[in-house]
Homo-oligomer: A and B are copies of this chain.
Amino acid sequence: MQVLRANTETRSTAFENVPAGWQRYGGRALVARFLLDEVPPACDPLGPLSKLIWAPGLLAGHVLSSVDRISAGGKSPLTGGAKEANAGGTTALRMAWLGLFAVVVEGGPPVDGRWQVLVVGENSARFENGDDLHGMGLAAAADALVQRYGPKIAVSAIGPGGERRYLASGITHLDKDRNLTRISARGGLGAVMGSKHLKAIVFEHAKNTPPEVVDEDLFQAAARRHTKALQDHPQTGQVYTLYGTASMVSLCNGLAGMPTRNFSTGHFEGADRINGDAIHDLNLSRGGQVTHACMPGCVIRCSNAYNGPDRQVIVTPLEYETICLMGSNLGLDDPDAIARLNAVANDLGVDTIEVGAALGVAAEAGYMAFGDGRRALELMEEIRQGTPLGRLLGNGAGLTGKVLGVRRVPVVKNQALSAYDPRAIKGTGVTYATSPQGADHTSGLTIRANVDHTKPAGQVEASRSAQYRMAGYDSIGACIFAGFGMDATVVRDLINGRYGWGVADGYLTELGRDSLLMEREFNRQAGFAPADDRLPEWMTTERLPIVDTAFDVPPSELDAMFD
């Protein structure tokens, strides 16, 4: 395994050995390690000292179900802290097959200002001119890249959002159907890539060889247990497969925790039109793909391809977070309208959570009426065109709130809350507040924790446990749902089968904890303090209807979170 370093400023590339002692890191943990050791924490995240890291999870490369995720990471220009954003698609798999432990992109933009494509093959890497791709949406860019480099490539690319250095922009990866749809969405990593004038990395086709496995029997037995557990679990074997993450609509709405009209209530009267059943049935009636795998080999297949009335695909995929942030949060109950917003966001390569939250704030400021899907779509087009208002929205909810003079802004560390109101699901509120990543459900969702979600008691413990576990999954390359099939013995045996390290049952949690502590140390040096580990003040005083409670987990408990 090798590390590829590519300098966008000098257009030089080099393959290096994995630094001593780093072999045991992967995914999120590896990103944290690179950040702490190589990136000045106080640096300008959009400047030449900033680096971008691609790190496949430790178990990527074997087409295990839901375990081929790619971690992209760096210093977030949105939060100012450590950022890892993982996604499906085929990038991690291809990197593993190419023997790449990590790709590190360094330096500023080239002096000639050109846009570039980094083309990576087996023991080879080169920069090519990408000026013709500049300004191109990701739908067209996917076609152009496949046309140029062949149908078997993997790709990580930015859309116009990243090129414009929007703080809501992500890095998008090609899926198995050759669409650029799987986005490392959160934290503005697309802007970092844009700041270096790197439009795309193309990973060429290579020998179809998974990485070496030291104990094949142990590994395969664990893989089988993992797959069977996913298939047997009602959530991953049935609910997610049939209804996808849209099945969360009814659950969250039932808990009165589904953000609606800029987080002013957690119960959306139009939820029945946009829940899992409704979207499944409508999509099925239009010949849409109701179940779809974002990574080769996934048995859950929670994704979909959503068709419009003309039986043509509007967007792939339409998922819960978007249905909420670009739906109920904007007062929209029309799945087609939501899908169209989602499609523009995907083409621009921006985070639907961040932009949806920004639109909610803009609606509160009077720039659109809640429920007006047509106006919302106009605003998305402004983001594409880069008008002042569009630029504002493309830079996320926090800046939008500041500039438009709105106080009810749902962000922590300047990153938008996802689709679980922290007053109704308080453990997730603790995660939003304390995660080094900024507000993010994938950093530690507690909705299945055995606590009263509306009371402060036990939430810190629930969040801590979820955060450690999630950071562990993010480091081995596992999807958040892989956990339904991964008990401690499965993770242990997969790691020991693959690497022969002899890890114990608690491995995943320890790996996650290590990652978090590295990220927190990076953040501390970057200037973060306890005051940053807080929900917005208004959420501690404004009571959420129905559950009739504000966020009331004491700050002292938040501060003791990682002691």
Bound state CA distance, A208 and B151, in angstroms?
Answer: 87
How many copies, total? 2
Interface check A388, CB cutoff 8 A: yes
Binary CB contact string for chain A from 121 to 147 against chain B (1 if under 8 A, 0 otherwise): 000000000000000000000000000
In the complex, 12 of the A-B residue pairs with CB atoms within 8 angstroms, ordered by the A residue number, are A42-B534, A47-B407, A47-B538, A164-B405, A166-B405, A388-B388, A391-B405, A399-B403, A526-B531, A527-B531, A528-B529, A529-B529
From A525, which residue of chain B is reached at the shortest CB distance? B531
Q: In the bound complex, do residue A44 and residue B537 qualify as a contact, i.e. CB atoms below 8 Å apart?
A: yes
Q: In the bound complex, do residue B407 and residue A531 qualify as a contact, i.e. CB atoms below 8 Å apart?
A: no
Bound state CA distance, A225 and B375, in angstroms?
Answer: 68
Q: In the bound complex, do residue B391 and residue A537 qualify as a contact, i.e. CB atoms below 8 Å apart?
A: no
Q: Please report which residues of chain A, range 507-535, place their CB below 8 angstroms from some CB of chain B when the two chains form the complex.
A: 524-532, 534
CB proximity of A412 to chain B, nearest CB, Å = 12
From A389, which residue of chain B is reached at the shortest CB distance? B388
Quick one: which of B46, B404, B529 contacts A391, CB cutoff 8 A? Answer: B404
Contacts of A529 in B (CB 8 A): 524, 527-529
Q: In the bound complex, do residue A44 and residue B528 qualify as a contact, i.e. CB atoms below 8 Å apart?
A: no
Q: In the bound complex, do residue A532 and residue B537 qualify as a contact, i.e. CB atoms below 8 Å apart?
A: no
Binary CB contact string for chain A from 308 to 340 against chain B (1 if under 8 A, 0 otherwise): 000000000000000000000000000000000
Quick one: which of B395, B402, B525 contacts A395, CB cutoff 8 A? Answer: B402
CB proximity of A236 to chain B, nearest CB, Å = 40
Interface check A96, CB cutoff 8 A: no
Do A42 and B531 contact each other (CB < 8 Å), given the known contacts A165-B405, A167-B402, A388-B387? yes
Contacts of A299 in B (CB 8 A): none
Do A537 and B43 contact each other (CB < 8 Å), given the known contacts A525-B531, A529-B524, A529-B527? yes
Interface check A357, CB cutoff 8 A: no
Bound state CA distance, A527 and B389, in angstroms?
Answer: 30
Interface check A49, CB cutoff 8 A: yes
Do A44 and B388 contact each other (CB < 8 Å), given the known contacts A167-B402, A403-B395, A530-B527? no
Q: In the bound complex, do residue B405 and residue A403 qualify as a contact, i.e. CB atoms below 8 Å apart?
A: no
Do A41 and B531 contact each other (CB < 8 Å), given the known contacts A388-B392, A403-B395? yes
From A367, which residue of chain B is reached at the shortest CB distance? B388
Do A402 and B399 contact each other (CB < 8 Å), given the known contacts A47-B538, A49-B537, A537-B47? yes
From A164, which residue of chain B is reached at the shortest CB distance? B405
CB proximity of A481 to chain B, nearest CB, Å = 35
Interface check A536, CB cutoff 8 A: yes
Q: Please report which residues of chain A, range 29-46, place their CB below 8 angstroms from some CB of chain B when the two chains form the complex.
A: 41-44, 46
Bound state CA distance, A531 and B43, in angstroms?
Answer: 9
Bound state CA distance, A399 and B167, in angstroms?
Answer: 12
From A166, which residue of chain B is reached at the shortest CB distance? B405
Contacts of A405 in B (CB 8 A): 164-166, 391
CB proximity of A107 to chain B, nearest CB, Å = 13
Bound state CA distance, A530 and B41, in angstroms?
Answer: 11
Q: Please report which residues of chain A, range 377-407, place their CB below 8 angstroms from some CB of chain B when the two chains form the complex.
A: 387-389, 391-392, 395, 399, 402-405, 407
Contacts of A392 in B (CB 8 A): 388, 392, 403
From A46, which residue of chain B is reached at the shortest CB distance? B407
Q: Please report which residues of chain A, range 458-488, place their CB below 8 angstroms from some CB of chain B when the two chains form the complex.
A: none
From A167, which residue of chain B is reached at the shortest CB distance? B402
CB proximity of A496 to chain B, nearest CB, Å = 40
